[in-house]
Amino acid sequence: MHDALAISQVVLWVVVIVLAATVLALARQIGVLHERIAPMGALTIDKGPKIGDVAPIFDLYALNRVPVTIGGPSPSGFSTMLMFVSPTCPVCKKLLPIVKSIAEGEAQWLRLVFTSDGDEAAQKEFVERYRLDAFPMVLSSELGMTFRVSKLPYAVLIDEEGRVRAKGLVNTREHLESIIQAKQMGIASIQDYLDARHAPEPVAIANGERGGK
């Protein structure tokens, strides 16, 4: 009886140890998988003003006739996120609640400005339907052409000094957050940061191994 109990306890401990080893192995594999499947940031299209360039200055008016300046040093110290959208863009409509949520969460340093072009009546209806009244909406085809926006929704982040700090095609919350993170981390894009992390380190050349005698 005692022998059977002792054997069962030994077997139980062996099972526990095997399970613990399996969990640790799985945890390591998950870590490796996480490294391999890197988070995807906003797709940067290499057109228009480049990251780090001074953004062109635009003095515009929102649909409610309030003046809106894009570019240039910000007197309030705020950065500006330009969101290029359209009433006919299905992805834009799905992303709007996320854009507003992120803007409200970063309101202490970020100003959100929507921009589009086309029929003014349709744009006003768009603003009313999706409750965008809290944010300026400017109509300017020149703005889109300057930043070479060819696909929507597209975001451009201009910092408090008036420089382009991040930009890209944004289809998801992850894409939008990568724009914010790029600014806060002082990098061009999340993909550039990941590429730099995984780049091979230069091989050090020891003294006396430079090819000379």
Domain borders along the chain are: 1-37, 58-197
pLDDT surpassing 60 at residue 1: no
Amino acid 182: pLDDT: 84
Alpha helices (runs of H) in 46-111, residue ranges in sequence order: 90-105
How many Cβ atoms are within 10 Å of 192's Cβ, its own excluded? 14
How many Cβ atoms are within 10 Å of 72's Cβ, its own excluded? 16
Categorise residue 73: left if φ over 0, alpha if ψ from -120 to 50, beta otherwise.
beta
Burial of 203 (0-12, 13-18, 19+ CB in 10 A): exposed
How many Cβ atoms are within 10 Å of 66's Cβ, its own excluded? 10
How many Cβ atoms are within 10 Å of 48's Cβ, its own excluded? 19
Q: pLDDT digits over 78-116, tens only?
A: 999 999 999 999 999 999 999 999 999 999 999 999 999
Fold held by 58-197: Glutaredoxin (3.40.30)
pLDDT confidence band for 178 (50 / 70 / 90):
very high
